[in-house]
A and B are shown apart, each in its own frame.
Chain A
Amino acid sequence: MLYFTLRRLSVAVLVALTVSWLSFSMIYLSGDPATALAGETATAADVENIRRIYGYDRPIVVQYVDWLMNALQGNLGRSHYLKSDVSKIIMERLPTTMLLGACALSFALILSIPLGVLAAIRPNSLFDRFALTLAVIGQAMPSFWFALTLILWLGIYGIGGVRLPITGSASWLNFIMPSIALGYYVTPAVMRLTRAGMLDVLSSDYIRTARAKGLRPRTVLFKHALRNAIIPVVSLAAVQFGFMLGGSIVIETIFNINGLGYLAWESIQRADLPVMQAIVLVLSIIYVIITFLADMLNAFLDPRIRVH
């Protein structure tokens, strides 16, 4: 286990370093960073001054190491547009996006695990086909279309006289629509995996033994089968959570949620490079950490993985 952990950890660190290099080099994609930082009213002397202060006149590798050292200490630079420290801005917005991601993931799991289990109990039945159709349809709808349709039906018309708030973050009600809109796209994958896992487990010897022993079907299903089938779902859910953090741009824009996705979209429009760079870095690192933890959990739950 120790060997596995060390190996997995070193991969994670290497990936994190590569990603940091990639997000660092983003600043050079659009030309001279000093001019961009100096802002619109700057004179040529200001630009030179900033180039010197920020050290853009040094070799790129030196700049990168310097930037990395700062980033490790939580200093991600300054946004010339928002006139504030990037790490401060990101820390303000990150909780919202994390909360949204967690809500969306909960929604997805609550919907898809029961569906997957039920579909696996009666494979190829009408219900199985229905669940599969739901999954296929989910994959095929453009997310913004789905989100706007939700607004139309739940926000404007309302169901049963109850209308959900469209924007804002005043109460948990505000998170219902965005969570559905974001979480729905995770459902197909989780559902399929739960179904496949359950089918696998249900046809295995120990479940047959459990059944033969005369245990109640429900006990067999929940205590023995689901517990084992759920292991791969845990790591899939972790990976999907990482994807959702990065994929919430469209949803946050539509529901006017002041999270990281919305900030990213604004920064892209403003060409606010330090912020863009930092968001890519932060999201990537979060993903690296989440997948590392998921792998560790998996290895803990399923000893076979460790020897691979």
Chain B
Amino acid sequence: MADVAEIKGHAPTADVILEPTPGAILRRRIFRHWGLIFGGIILLVIVLMALLAGVISPHDPYDQQLARKLIPPIWHESAKATWTHPLGTDHLGRDYLSRLFYGAQVSLMIGFLAMLISGIIGTTLGVLAGYFGGRVDMIVNFIVTTRLSMPVVLVALAVVSLIGGSLTVVIWVLGLLIWDRFAVVMRSATMQIRNRDFVAAAEALGCSRTRIIMTEVMPNIMNHLIVVATLEMAHAILLEAALSFLGLGVQPPTPSWGLMVSEAKGLMFFDAWLIAIPGIALFLLVLSINLLGDGLRDVTSPDGRS
């Protein structure tokens, strides 16, 4: 919510484009911004982990061997620790490292697809409201307020429990629920662009509204869109983890990081590594996406961080 207020303080982004060598400035900014670099690197590592899961996993993530369950990770002083399972095995004897790799796929996919769905809904509503204003704005405002007044976690849980949990259902439910921030931010960003000269010029030239929105408005609100997209992706990943914790998210044996944390929660007080590994992975993923989003906002706004 704070982002809305912060964005209001930003000077119009188009200024960046008008500066002499915008590319160079942007590049310099990016490399000076440690949060952006740090977030980018972690996210890159996680994405690579997910993409290469099939190649780099030492074992089949579904292969259950009850005889070798709960082997601790390699840094643990226990004699059971072995390089065959560098991160140990879970309560059903499945290789934890392999599950972590495959889990990256699932968590990223949920975050990305849910963000995509909510992004499409929210951006459409927000841009329409911001561009046309008046009655359209009122209606969109009304839809957004209605959506905001429904408790997200509760509605998500209720719907998932009524139609049954699965990867697809979770993605759709989250996607259909968390578009509000897209709508709010896109609306105010579009309103700022709408009153600028080049939009007026395009209108005067008789360009169609669709064309103006697509070629004049959208490119200029892209940076806001990316920032919100990263935040919402992180939001979706955390929500999935919460749903999994309550047993209504992704269903086992699919390895999602949220589910791994949830499956390990019983031994939390005894074998802390079991919950710490996927927990830290989840934390790093969300952290890196957030850092990336914050960083992008900073480097694309001309005053730097305000």
Contacts and interface: CB of A to CB of B under 8 A. Distances in A.
A30 B164 CA distance: 11
Contacts of A271: 161-162
Interface in A209-251: 232, 236, 239-240, 242-243, 245-247, 249-250
A261 B142 CA distance: 26
Main secondary structure of the interface of B (DSSP, over half): helix
B2 interface: yes
B268 A152 contact: yes
A15 B149 contact: yes
B245 A287 contact: no
B193 interface: no
A284 interface: yes
Interface in B228-254: 234, 238, 241-242, 245-246, 248
Contacts of A160: none
A104 interface: no
B279 A142 contact: yes
Interface string B62-91: 000000000000000000000000000000
A124 B275 contact: no
Contacts of A173: none
B242 A250 contact: yes
| Interface size class, chain B | 35 or more
A192 to B, nearest CB: 4
Contacts of B248: 268
A254 to B, nearest CB: 9
A250 B269 contact: no
Given A196-B2, A196-B6, A246-B154, A144 B242 contact: yes
Contacts of B282: 142, 145
Nearest to A31: B162
A124 B305 CA distance: 9
Interface of B: 1-3, 5-6, 9, 35, 141-142, 145-146, 148-155, 157-159, 161-163, 234, 238, 241-242, 245-246, 248, 258, 261-262, 265, 268-269, 272, 275, 279, 282-284, 286-287, 290-291, 294, 305-306
Question: Which 7 A-B pairs have CB atoms at the shortest separation, nearest pair first?
Answer: A246-B151, A140-B286, A140-B287, A192-B2, A287-B149, A189-B2, A193-B2
Interface of A: 11, 14-15, 18-19, 22, 26, 29-30, 124, 136-137, 139-145, 148, 152, 156, 188-190, 192-193, 196-197, 199-200, 232, 236, 239-240, 242-243, 245-247, 249-250, 253, 261, 264-265, 268-269, 271, 276, 279-280, 283-285, 287-288, 291
